Structure 1
Amino acid sequence: MAPENGVEYASDSDRRESSPVFVLVRLRRGVVGESQRTTHLVDVTAVDRGFSWIKALCGERMVVGETDLLTDLTGMPCESCLIRASAGTTPSRPGGDRFDGLHSLSA
C-alpha cells in the first residue's frame, strides 16, 4: 500500500500473513496513578486509520490520545502482556474471534 503522510498502513493480506509486531505503550502521566502506568504490548500488524482506542495483549483498552508510545522498555511491564506474547496467544472477543489489535470506538 502507498504511504500516506509518511505512514505506510498494512493491507488486509499483509496482516494475515505477517508475524505479530509489538509496540510498547503505557497510559500518560495524570491519566491514572503511577502504580497503574504499566508498560503494555500492543500487536500492530492490524494498524489502520481511524482508530481511537487500542487493546493491549492483556485485554486492557486504552484511548490512543491517553497513551505514550515508548521507544524502549521503561517502567513496570504488564505481566499478562508478557505471558501472552511469549505464549503466542491473544485475547478473544466473546464470539471467539481473534483480537485484531486496534478498534474504533464505534465498533
Structure 2
Amino acid sequence: MYLMMSVNTVIPPGEKVVDADIACHYKRFPMHLFAYRVHTHRLGKVVSGYRVRNGQWTLIGRQSPQLPQAFYPVQQPVDVSYDDILAARCVFSGEGRTTETHIG
C-alpha cells in the first residue's frame, strides 16, 4: 500500500470548490497497481490519482470519498517505476460551514 496525504490544507467556510494537490517522485521498486482507495471526511467530494511518466498523465482511479470505504479495482492496470511521479487531487467543499476547516 502507498499512502498520499494532504496536509496544511484550509477549506474556507462557504467556498464551493477547494483543491488540494499532492505529488511526489516515486523512488522505490516497481509497483503494479490493481486497486485504489480514497478517503476524506464529510467535506470531500472527489479524489483522483495519477501516474505521471515523461509528461504523460495516466489515471489510476477517481472516486467519491462519500461512497463506502473499499478498495476499488483500477480500470486498466497501471505500473509505477522508479522516478515516476504519483499525483493526486482532492476536491473539497466548505459550503454550509461557518468556520475554516484545517486538514493535516
Between Structure 1 and Structure 2, which shows a larger proportion of helix residues? 1
- Normalised TM-score (structure 2): 0.23
Rg comparison, structure with higher value: 2
Higher percent of residues as strand: 2
Q: Flag the structure with more relative contact order, 1 or 2, with Cα contacts below 8 A and sequence separation at least 6.
A: 2
